[in-house]
Structure 1
Amino acid sequence: MRNSFLPRTTCALAIAVGTTLMVGCTPGPAYVRPSIQVPDQFKEKATAATETQRAAPGWVPADPGDTAMRGDWWTLFGDDTLNALEGRVDGGNQSIAKGLANLQAAKAAAKEARAAYYPTITAGVDANRNRTSQNVVGRSLAGKTVSDYAAGLDVSWEPDLFDRIGHQVDAATARYQADQADLASIRLAMHAELAIDYVDLRGVDAETALLQQTVADYTKAHDLVQVRFNGGIASESDLAEAETQLQVASAQLVDLGESRARYEHAIAMLMGVAPAELSIPVSTAAIAMPAVPAGLPSTLLQRRPDIAAAERRVAAANADVGEATSAFFPDLLLSASGGVEASRFTQLATLPSRFWAIGPALVSTLFDGGRRKQELHQAEAREEGAAADYRQTVLSAFQDVEDNLSSVRVLSDEAGTQQRAVAASGLAEKLALARYKAGATDYLEVVTTQSVSLDQRRVYVELSRRELESDIRLIKAVGGNWSADTLSNVSTNDAPPTSSSVDRREQKRVAP
């Protein structure tokens, strides 16, 4: 609406009144992050790290700080193929794409909530022609046809006297931040899942190489028994046992092809490509075991995005309580309209055709049967539930880390023991074969020792795979890489970003 429609004194009065009314109170509870008792250090500690790898003192219980850099943590394993596959996850994974879409929707919702701070301006034009019945008594226009042309603006604005809009903005902003953390959590999970599938695939490759060598050794042993059988030295049962052992190992080798295909297909899905478009070459190169610091600080959990998301949903629920509290206070609506109206189109531009109207409205609910009170109770209960979810998420995160620290420690010890078992069974196999060649024993002893040796070597390959999986799950559990550079990015002051109105509401609650 053009200012010419309003007397200057009216404009000045409206501005003064509006400015005064904006200085209202902020009902609702000030947000305080839910408290939870957590240790400074984890119970389980890795045993392989040196003293120089220990974390510096001064760590505090975990607070959400998922904005800290996680880095390309998969590079810790020193595998170029893994690095290349991981590099394609963000751009192709459909779960991440959905998370991005959800984040964009939450961003739009936050902007929509903030738009309520501004006035609403509408404009319209109208042209109509009507005739009043001639048989209507007491109307000056009875039996006449009249044209009506109009153009005008309507302006309405609701000052946020009791921070109702502010609470809505706080809630929408906190939920947007929670969706940001959810997206980070999805990314972390997808990268970790691909790394685990890749380690499993390499485990199959290692087991395949082992069985290929075993089949070759069993073939040589079978040929030896065949020669001895042809010479009348070995029995037919010895030959049957050698043949059986060779065919069983060959069948196990063939069976590994199915497992490898499944892991390769799973990796393709995580990258967002069809299985036919991905082929990972066989490799038996060793994958590096990352060194786990002996004293991981619990502050690493600050970077876990699921903790951050849970905390920000508590903040959103707190803002909902504030909004429900604001409903007990009156609403002020300022509105103004103006324009031109005439019965002839040519008269619209003339001064007498103008019209305007301005006036405030203060509205308050006097009785609603307890509806607002119950809505407030619901909001408070939801906040309590969100706080419980947050605490449970923190506790689950500690359990997750402790479980994987324990797995890393136990599997490392077990792998050392298993190495000795592999060496002992290999020696027993060689001795049994030498005794058989010398005629000191039958072939059953050879078969038994060979079977035991193969089992022990396969167990060692499986343990190596499980060790790597535990490392990956531990990295995921602490929210990413634990290298020195990454640790330096985690600050005890890290906290989820909040809107300015959340900071502004750090004051006493105004009771309804």
Structure 2
Amino acid sequence: MTLARLPCAAACAALLMLAAGCAVGPDYKTPDTPLPVSWKLEEPWRVSTPSDSAEKGPWWKRFDDATLDTLQAQALAGSPTLAIANARLAQARATLAATSASRYPQLGLGARASRLKISANRPLTNYATANSSTVQNDFAVSLNASYELDLAGRVQRTVEGAAASAEQSAADLANTRLLLSAELASNYFNLRSTDIELDVLSRSIGLQRRALELVTARHDLGAVSGLDVAQQQALLETTLTQVDVLKKQRAQYEHALATLTGTPAPNFSLPVDLREIKPPAVPLGVPSEILQRRPDVASAERAMAAANAQIGVATAAFYPSFVISPTVGVDSRLIETLFNGPSLLWSVGVSATQVLFDGGRIRANVDFAKAGYDVTVGNYRRTVLTAMQEVEDGITGLSALDSATTQAQSAVTAARRVLDMATSRYEGGASTYLDVITAQQSLLTVERQAAQLQGQRLLTSVFLVKALGGDWCGTDTAGAPSSCPALDRTAKAG
């Protein structure tokens, strides 16, 4: 024991009879994390002032899609991943309850009833007295207790670590729920985006079939060559191939939704739905609120608290351990005299143990615990930085996609005009059919691009909600997100 530990050890010994102790090891303090004062915002974004004390609520209801709401409810009820996280939380709470029991005395009741014979040839205890063999009964009842005086704070630090681990498991459960709902929403919006793309291809195929009929009729009349027919036929076949590819992608999204909701993939299907879904207004708070809202950040912070407590547990091994073990009971060879006064027996004592030499094992355990704490600090800071990055990615992504969507809609309108003009010029003999083919391909490209951008806006909205830790507002009595006056126009509604 070093000189630095002698004062605490002496104080602990002096307070032995008062059962008071001093918890060794560092007290936990959340490390300082440098944070920006605001996000990088461009119009029409502006920072909101959400209430972090409010329930986050079912954020997906802001997309106003009944099918998505139903799928989310199924996932929260039947997801195996969520069930695993719930079970781990139950384990952590049970561990905390078991660890907390160490702060109280342990009581035990014992009873014994036996008939025994003593050997006459057993070793002598006195050469002047010969041994004899006896057969007799032995009845005993005893009540014993054991209590560790937590003078060095080992039990206290152990309970602190178990409490932090239980809180970490609760945060992990919240994070699992958030990731599950976000993954389900992402797959759902991917599926809906694919439906819109398939609808675009279906309309393009109808247009291309009519064009093929037109050019075939003109070829039969000898007005055009077979090259025009072959070009239109090739374009139609290419578009049909794209349909098969998109159907494969849709099936994969559908299977993913089945797994997330806890449903066998062969038993799950979603009908085509072409309704337009608009991204909701996503509330932005100041960057420091990320530390309060994101469950993965909370989990990383609780992991630091648990690791810090382990330093105290390891350090407590340097100090003596004291255990009080009183016992009271009765013992008699006759059961009718078992509870008589002469049958009473009792004992009380204190046992103490102190490591004198261990070859550096305790010091190595302390160093290991400190290194483990440093790992959790690094993981916490990495988690915070990742959170900042994800929010900024979501903000800039939505802004760019909003602008791109507006331009894509203009491009679709222009491409339709170009196709109409190219068709009219071809029918009037002012241009070749290559112009019509080019216009058809351009329209198909920009329409699919517009559909993909709409899907990307929805996915980015989900990504940003996840990056912010979920919805800020609570829910009303009907289960829908309640209104937030402070968030009237906190983000672009789309």
TM-score (norm. length: structure 2)? 0.88
Deviation digits for residues 252-307 of structure 1, max 9, x if unmatched? 223322221111111111011112332212111000122245x6421341210010
2:207 corresponds to which residue? 217
Aligned to 2:223: 233
Which of these residues, 19, 22, 32, is aligned with residue 22 of structure 1? 19
For these two proteins, the number of residue pairs brought into alignment is 461
Residue by residue, what CA displacement relative to the aligned partner does 1:46-99 show, whole Å, maximum 9, x if unpaired?
5334xxx64249x9xxxxx7x752211111111111111111211111111100
Q: Percent identity?
A: 34
Alignment partner, residue 88 of structure 1:
74
Check conservation: 1:54, 1:296, Cα contact below 8 A: yes
Aligned to 1:188: 178
Work out whether 1:345 is the aligned partner of 2:318.
no
1:202 to 163, 177, 192: 192
The one-character-per-residue Cα deviations of 1:25-44 (angstroms, maximum 9, x if unpaired) are 2222121101111112122x
1:368 positional shift: 2.5
Decide whether aligned partners of structure 1 residues 415 and 344 sit closer, same or farther in structure 2, where only a CA change above 3 A counts.
same
Asked if structure 1 preserves the Cα contact closer than 8 Å seen for 2:148 and 2:321, the reply is: yes
SS state at 1:87 partner: helix
- Deviation of 1:333 after TM superposition, in Å, equals 1.1
Q: Which residue of 2 aligns with 1:267?
A: 257
Map of 1:318 onto structure 2: 308
Are residues 28 and 145 of structure 1, via their aligned partners in 2, closer, same or farther at CA, if it must alter by over 3 Å? Answer: same
Q: Name 1:34's counterpart in structure 2.
A: 31
- CA–CA distance in structure 2, aligned partners of residues 160 and 138 of structure 1: 44
CA contact (8 A) 1:171 1:320 kept: yes
Counterpart Cα distance in 1 of 2:16 and 2:122: 50
Find the aligned partners of 2:257 and 2:383 in 1 and give their Cα distance: 28
Structure 2 residue 123 is the aligned partner of structure 1 residue 132? no
Residue 407 of structure 2 aligns to a residue in which SS? helix
Cα displacement string for residues 306-357 of structure 1 (whole angstroms, at most 9, x for unaligned residues): 1001111111111111222222222221111121112223321322112111
CA distance in 2, matches of 1:350, 1:404: 81
SS at match of 1:283: coil
Number of the residue aligned with 1:437: 427
Extract unaligned runs of 5+ from structure 1. Answer: 1-16, 60-64, 490-512
Q: 1:482 to 1:24 in 2, by over 3 A?
A: closer
Q: 2:168 and 2:484 mapped to 1: Cα distance?
A: 23
Q: 1:79 aligns with which of 65, 81, 93?
A: 65
* Counterpart contact for 1:94–1:272, Cα < 8 Å: yes
Distance 1:351 1:79 in 2: 80
Distance, in Å, in 2 between the alignment partners of 1:141 and 1:310 is 70
CA–CA distance in 2 between the matches of 1:314 and 1:304? 16
1:135-176 residue CA offsets vs partner (Å, 9 max, x unmatched): 446366523223222221111111222221110000000011
Equivalent in the alignment of 2:95: 109
Q: Which amino acid aligns with 1:24?
A: G
Matched residue SS, 2:169: helix
Partners of 1:368 and 1:54 lie apart in 2 by 58
**Letter of the 1:73 counterpart:** W
Query: What is the aligned-residue RMSD (CA, Å)?
Result: 2.4
2:140 matches 1:175: no
The CA deviation at 1:20 is: 4.8
Paired residue type of 1:186: T
* 3-state SS in 1 of match to 2:326: strand
Is contact 2:23-2:157 (8 Å) kept? Answer: no
Distance 1:436 1:194 in 2: 48
AA of the residue aligned to 2:29: V
Instruction: Determine if contact 2:47/2:286 at 8 Å carries over to the other structure.
Output: no
Secondary structure of 1:158 counterpart: strand
Number of the residue aligned with 1:55: 48
